[in-house]
């Protein structure tokens, strides 16, 4: 199938939105476009599956490669493996849910949906790129819409958060850029698959790996560069929070894996202790910081720092199971936080507060929303049956396979953070949803509308599907991670 | 032989013809400004369009003047820029008393630049440079009733006189040590002895003045602020571009034996220019001063690109300048419109601009994003290729510092975007009706910003032309 459609459909949707008038037309177009995109992703999944069962062993499928800038050896090269498909499916579901949640956005609705769709286009392009130039191009395409979305439609100290987020992410991409140039001048190509066939000298790898990894790490809330996450998420409008946590933090994780680790495995191996140290700090620090939060959005944002730490941890441990776990955690966390933010948004739009202390007994007045909220929370603390359990479990199993004592200590510490997670999640959920109704004004509030139910439904289906049938997604991403492991394996056998 | 003469000199001859035509129109009976501007814009368009036909290599006047397809392209970029500027200054010139004189000045500077770009001899180069500077100072004074405008003109003429003096001193020393002024003969006589390096430093300083590289940038902000917007746009785009074109070819060809020397000099100049330009741009509130410092920072990036190898360096610099023409002129187009209609030139006046002028807001936002280097605008490609060219020698710290400076520049460009979209204002600038000429110019600029980057043929074309050097 033609992968370029994944970029073209959002592009067309965005352009059509510009010519629409009124909220009704705009949202109809945006929803149609995103649903078509979701169907396309599912279709992509099924054709991918057919190819694989037919015995196609190529590392990348549906490749398309054409020269873009001939003189600089820049190609427009796209293709997917299981990991990219998982990411594309995640993106597509979050986009549909995000658009459904913003169904009644009145303020500057045309611009709002335009930017949402543009942001998703950046993400799709990023996930299918097999050329470092196009990858970088789409990475940056996804930054600016975030700035505008937070700055214009956000709440609280929105300008500050928007600026902080944009600058930190741009700094991240500046670092990535230096890393890419280093690789480019070593190999004279931007093509990921070609570079992976060559062997970059260890010295060069050691020099440029930190640039690429920290650069992408900033996107993935790598400690100590995570500070944009809480402010950005908390100030953003609901749909943008969902996109930020569900999609754009995954750009970072995917970049760390596909670019930094895949292309420079020797350096990844050499620096893995630093990566793991930072990841462990992020996991524990994030969990404890969440305990102190009183705002629901900040709770979810800080817990994202902790959860994204697992992604970094999985990548740093460099065993096949742990990398599998990292990918699973990306998908799971994307769905789960998007659901969480959606639920928080629904609560906020009715009660006009996000403070845990002011909420209470919501289950009695809005049972559906409260249930969604609790499901997201339980997934976050890793209850079996939901995706969070599967993903975190896989990361821990994989990490334990790494025989180094210090690494095992890091694994144990990270494992222990789950207890803290349980404390803050259960406390927040118990306080807001259970108990007596704290404010009589809440009595008259309505439950979720059809669009909100649909949005939550899509995300919950994803969470539960991964939770009860993890082998499905394992089969999907398995060949992709094996491919990455072969690169890493070269290093291990060299030693 | 005569046919050669006409073909090689075609762009200069067309400009000269337009100058004479304008003189005749001036002598004839008075016409209204609207018709005059209509005619002039048409002429400038024809001037731009005619540049594309039949270009070939060649020399004239004892190798004083040389031309090739790349030079023709460079002149075409200047022609395009001057046409766009003319379209944009419609609302300002509509009520001005001396329309024709303004164009006479602009076109004479353009002619000077053409000769400067084509010069095969340092004397010719100097003549062209002076011819392009002196009328410009008069043009900077074209807001005849404003004192600031006169001040700007004075500053411009004094500082250019100073830089010309440095340049002349350098040229005379070069002649003293090498015995020739012909650019193609210079390399054979250059051997990096101290006197020649001193001469080169003087020449370089002369250039640095014109492109306002730090520490020779001090005149820039004041002149930009005082001059009429059209002249500011002209100064920041056309005159800078012309000098840069020459600078690139002189460095790569005439001063090739001194490559090790100028590589280190470019390193210092470029970093100082980027950092100082950025730091000062953060604090500006006047839009013209803001763009002045941002354009200083952009020059720093261009110097970084020049440090690479000759073909990618030349190509990426010319490509970047083409993009810079579109992006900067789109920004200046909006500013000149607002300035002409409302008289407001401060960034704080633009607060909540989006509520009243959504279209203009998008144009200026796209322009600023392109200047900042955000995809999918062409500025991203321009910056990317400049830095890629600069990294060819493996100086990654330089690239790293420049890349992080892009983040700083991002801050101040986004500050403007924030003012336009996010800040509230009780009295935003009222709705402005856009004259057709300005509309055309803005459409061309925005189209240029989007197409020049994504369509790879533009870069590849420039790259193929640069190979002949």
Indicate the pLDDT class of residue A491, thresholds 50, 70 and 90: low
Q: What is the pLDDT of residue A1?
A: 75
pLDDT tens by residue, B49-58: 888 876 777 7
Overall average pLDDT of the A163-184 stretch: 91
pLDDT of residue A350: 86
pLDDT over 90, % of chain B: 30
Compute φ and ψ for B284, nearest 5 degrees. -85, 145
CA distances, A120 to each of A33, A80, A104 (Å): 11, 17, 20
Q: What is the mean pLDDT of residues B91-104?
A: 86
Average pLDDT of the residues in B1-11: 77
Of A83, A78, A82, nearest to A53 by C-alpha is A82
Residues of A in contact with B375 (CB under 8 A): 137-138, 140-141
From B136's Cα to the closest Cα of chain A, the distance in A is: 38
Evaluate if residue A369 carries a pLDDT over 80: yes
Pick from B387, B407, B459: CB nearest A181: B387
- The contact set of A with B (CB < 8 A) is 67-72, 74, 133, 136-138, 140-141, 143-144, 147-148, 151-152, 158-159, 162-163, 166-167, 170-171, 174-175, 177-178, 181-182, 184-185, 207, 211
Kindly identify which residue of chain B lies nearest to residue A139, measuring between CA atoms: B375
Q: Tell me what percent of the residues of chain B surpass a pLDDT of 70.
A: 99
User: What is the model's pLDDT at position A117?
Assistant: 92
Block residue for tokens 């290093």: A491
First to last CA, chain B: 25
B-chain residues near A184 (CB < 8 A): 388, 391
Mean pLDDT value of segment A434-449: 80
pLDDT (average), residues A399-406:
85
Domain that holds residue A253: 5-494
A266/A255 Cα distance (integer angstroms): 17
Q: Do B422 and A152 touch (CB under 8 A)?
A: yes
Pick from A67, A275, A264, A265: nearest CA to A184: A264
Which residues of B touch chain A, with CB atoms under 8 Å apart? 312, 315, 369, 374-376, 380, 384-385, 387-388, 391-392, 394, 396, 399-400, 403-404, 406-407, 410-411, 414-415, 417-418, 421-423, 456, 459-460, 463-464
- Hey, of A170, A172, A185, A204, which one would you mutate to test binding to chain B, going by the most B CBs within 10 A of its CB? A170
Pick from B387, B403, B422: which is nearest to A151 by CB?
B422
A338 with A242: CB under 8 angstroms?
yes
So what's the pLDDT on residue A95?
92
Q: What is the mean pLDDT of chain A?
A: 88
Task: Decide: A119 and A243 in contact? Cβ < 8 Å.
Answer: yes
Alpha-carbon A357 to chain mean position: 29
Calculate mean pLDDT across residues B220-249. Answer: 90
pLDDT at B435 over 60: yes
Task: Compute the average pLDDT of residues A88-97.
Answer: 92
Whether residue B366 is predicted with pLDDT greater than 90 in this model: the reply is: yes
Three-state secondary structure string covering B282-349: HCCCEHHHHHHHHHHHHHHHHHHHHCCCHHHHHHHHHHHHHHHHHHHHHHHHHHHHHHHHHCCCEHHH
The pLDDT value recorded for residue B1 is 66
Please say if the pLDDT value at position A438 is more than 80: no
Q: Is the pLDDT of residue A495 over 70?
A: no
Question: What pLDDT does residue A131 have?
Answer: 92
State whether A182 and B396 contact (CB < 8 Å). Answer: yes
Say if residue B224's pLDDT is above 50: yes
Number of compact structural domains in chain A: 1
Which has more pLDDT, A31 or A363? Answer: A31
Q: Which helix (H) or strand (E) holds A195?
A: helix A192-197
Neighbours of B74 (CB within 10 A): 27
Mean pLDDT of chain B: 88
- Answer yes or no: do B312 and A181 touch at CB < 8 A: no
- Mean pLDDT within B142-169: 88
Q: Do B456 and A140 touch (CB under 8 A)?
A: no
What domain count does chain B have?
1
- Closest chain A residue by Cα to residue B387: A181
Q: How confident is the model over B57-96, as pLDDT tens digits? A: 777 777 788 888 888 889 999 999 999 999 988 888 888 8
A163 to B414: CB separation less than 8 angstroms, yes or no: yes
**Cα distances (Å, whole numbers) of residue A369 to A204, A364, A467, B384:** 52, 10, 21, 47
Cβ contacts (< 8 Å) between A141 and chain B: which residues? 375-376
Distance CA B293, CA B285 (A): 11
What pLDDT is attached to residue B83?
Answer: 92
From the list B399, B404, B421, the residue facing A171 with the nearest CB is B404
Look up the ipTM and state it.
0.90
Q: For residue A494, what pLDDT band results from cuts at 50, 70 and 90?
A: very low
CB pairs under 8 A between A and B: 89
The pairing of beta strand B58-60 with beta strand B65-67 = antiparallel
pLDDT at B42: 87
Would you state the pLDDT for residue B466? 83
Residues of B whose CB is below 8 A from A175: 400, 403
The token duo for A414 is 């990270």
Reported as a single tens digit per residue, the pLDDT across A254-299 is 999 999 999 998 898 889 899 999 999 999 999 999 998 888 899 9
Domain membership of residue B443 as a residue range: 2-466
What's the rounded Cα separation, in Å, for the pair A446 and B350?
41
| Chain A contact set for B384 (CB, 8 A) | 133, 136, 177
CA distance A145 to A321: 35
Count other C-beta atoms under 10 Å from residue A359's C-beta.
22
Contacts of A232 (CB under 8 A, 6+ apart): A146, A150, A161, A162, A164, A165, A244, A301
Nearest to B418 among A138, A140, A151 (CB): A151
Quote the minimal CA–CA distance from B78 to chain A in Å.
25
Residue B330 has pLDDT above 90, yes or no: yes
d(CA B124, CA B184): 13
| pLDDT for B217 beyond 50 | yes
Interface contact flag, B380 A140, Cβ < 8 Å: yes
Provide the pLDDT for residue A211: 92
Instruction: List, for residues B161-176, the tens digit of each pLDDT value.
Output: 999 999 999 999 999 9
List CB contacts (< 8 A) between B392 and chain A: 185
């Amino acid at each position: 199938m033609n992968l370029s459609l994944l970029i073209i459909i959002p592009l067309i949707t965005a352009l059509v939105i510009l010519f629409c008038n009124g909220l009704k037309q705009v949202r109809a177009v945006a929803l149609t476009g995103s649903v078509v995109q979701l169907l396309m992703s599912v279709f992509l999944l099924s054709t991918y599956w057919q190819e694989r069962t037919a015995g196609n062993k190529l590392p990348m499928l549906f490749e398309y490669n054409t020269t873009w800038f001939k003189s600089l050896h820049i190609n427009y090269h796209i293709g997917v493996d299981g990991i990219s498909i998982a990411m594309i499916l995640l993106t597509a579901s979050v986009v549909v849910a995000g658009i459904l949640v913003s169904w009644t956005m009145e303020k500057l609705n045309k611009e709002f949906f335009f930017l949402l769709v543009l942001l998703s286009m950046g993400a799709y392009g990023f996930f299918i790129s097999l050329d470092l130039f196009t990858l970088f191009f789409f990475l940056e395409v996804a930054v600016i819409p975030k700035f505008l979305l937070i700055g214009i439609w956000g709440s609280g100290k929105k300008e500050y958060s928007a600026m902080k987020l944009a600058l930190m992410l741009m700094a991240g991409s500046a670092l990535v850029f230096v890393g890419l140039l280093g690789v480019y001048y070593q190999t004279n190509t931007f093509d990921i698959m070609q570079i992976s066939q060559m062997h970059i000298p260890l010295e060069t790898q050691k020099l440029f790996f930190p640039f690429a990894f920290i650069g992408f790490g900033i996107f993935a809330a790598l400690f100590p560069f995570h500070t944009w996450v809480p402010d950005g998420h908390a100030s953003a409008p609901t749909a943008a929070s969902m996109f930020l946590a569900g999609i754009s933090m995954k750009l970072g994780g995917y970049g760390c894996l596909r670019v930094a680790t895949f292309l420079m495995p020797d350096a990844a191996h050499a620096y893995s202790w630093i990566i793991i140290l930072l990841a462990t700090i992020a996991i524990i620090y994030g969990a404890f910081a969440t305990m102190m939060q009183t705002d629901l959005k900040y709770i979810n944002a800080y817990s994202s720092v902790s959860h994204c730490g697992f992604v970094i941890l999985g990548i740093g441990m460099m065993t096949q199971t742990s990398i599998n776990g990292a990918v699973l955690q990306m998908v799971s966390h994307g769905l789960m936080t998007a659901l969480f933010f959606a639920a928080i948004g629904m609560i906020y739009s009715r009660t006009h507060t996000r403070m845990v202390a002011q909420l209470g007994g919501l289950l009695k007045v809005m049972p559906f929303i409260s249930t969604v909220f609790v499901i997201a929370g339980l997934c976050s603390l890793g209850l079996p049956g939901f995706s969070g359990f599967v993903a975190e479990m896989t990361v821990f199993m994989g990490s334990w396979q790494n025989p180094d004592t210090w690494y095992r200590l890091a694994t144990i510490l990270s494992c222990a953070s789950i207890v803290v997670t349980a404390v803050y999640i259960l406390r927040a959920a118990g306080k807001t949803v259970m108990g007596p109704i704290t404010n009589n004004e809440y009595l008259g509030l309505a439950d979720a509308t059809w669009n909100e139910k649909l949005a939550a439904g899509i995300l919950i289906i994803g969470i539960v599907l991964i939770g009860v049938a993890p082998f499905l997604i394992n089969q999907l991403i398995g060949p992709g991670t094996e491919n990455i492991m072969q690169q890493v394996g070269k290093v291990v056998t060299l030693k | 032989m005569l046919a050669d003469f006409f073909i090689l000199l075609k762009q200069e001859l067309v400009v000269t013809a337009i100058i004479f035509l304008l003189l005749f129109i001036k002598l004839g009976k008075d016409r209204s400004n609207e018709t005059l501007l209509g005619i002039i814009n048409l002429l400038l368009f024809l001037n731009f369009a005619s540049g594309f036909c039949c270009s070939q290599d060649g020399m004239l006047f004892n190798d004083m003047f040389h031309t090739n397809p790349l030079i023709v392209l460079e002149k075409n970029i200047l022609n395009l820029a001057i046409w766009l500027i003319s379209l944009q200054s419609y609302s300002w010139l509509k009520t001005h008393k001396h329309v024709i004189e303004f164009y006479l000045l602009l076109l004479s500077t353009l002619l000077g630049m053409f000769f400067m770009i084509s010069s095969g001899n340092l004397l010719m180069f100097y003549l062209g440079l002076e011819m392009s500077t002196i009328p410009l100072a008069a043009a900077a004074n074209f807001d005849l009733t404003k004192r600031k405008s006169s001040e700007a003109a004075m500053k411009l003429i004094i500082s250019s006189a100073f830089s010309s003096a440095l340049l002349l001193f350098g040229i005379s020393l070069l002649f003293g040590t090498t015995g020739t002024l012909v650019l193609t003969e210079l390399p054979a006589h250059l051997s990096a002895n101290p006197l020649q390096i001193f001469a080169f430093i003087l020449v370089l300083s002369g250039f640095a003045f014109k492109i306002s590289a730090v520490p020779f940038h001090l005149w820039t902000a004041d002149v930009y602020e005082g001059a009429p917007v059209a002249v500011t746009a002209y100064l920041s785009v056309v005159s800078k571009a012309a000098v840069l074109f020459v600078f690139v070819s002189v460095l790569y060809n005439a001063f090739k034996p001194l490559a090790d020397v100028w590589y280190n000099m470019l390193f210092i100049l470029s970093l100082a220019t980027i950092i100082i330009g950025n730091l000062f741009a953060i604090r500006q509130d006047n839009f013209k001063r803001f763009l002045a410092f941002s354009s200083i920072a952009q020059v720093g990036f261009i110097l970084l690109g020049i440090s690479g190898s000759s073909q990618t360096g030349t190509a990426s610099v010319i490509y970047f300048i083409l993009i810079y023409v579109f992006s900067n002129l789109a920004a200046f187009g909006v500013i000149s419109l607002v300035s002409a209609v409302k008289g407001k030139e401060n960034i704080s006046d633009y607060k909540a601009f989006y509520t009243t002028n959504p279209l203009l807001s998008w144009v200026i936002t796209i322009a600023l994003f392109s200047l900042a280097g955000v995809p999918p605008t062409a500025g991203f490609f321009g910056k990317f290729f400049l830095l890629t060219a600069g990294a060819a020698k493996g100086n990654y710290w330089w690239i790293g510092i420049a890349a992080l400076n892009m983040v700083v520049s991002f801050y101040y460009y986004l500050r403007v975007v924030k003012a336009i979209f996010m800040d509230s204002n009780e009295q935003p600038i009222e709705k402005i009706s856009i004259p057709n000429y300005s509309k055309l110019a803005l459409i061309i600029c925005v189209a240029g910003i989007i197409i020049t980057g994504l369509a790879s043929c533009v870069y590849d074309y420039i790259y193929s032309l640069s190979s002949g050097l």
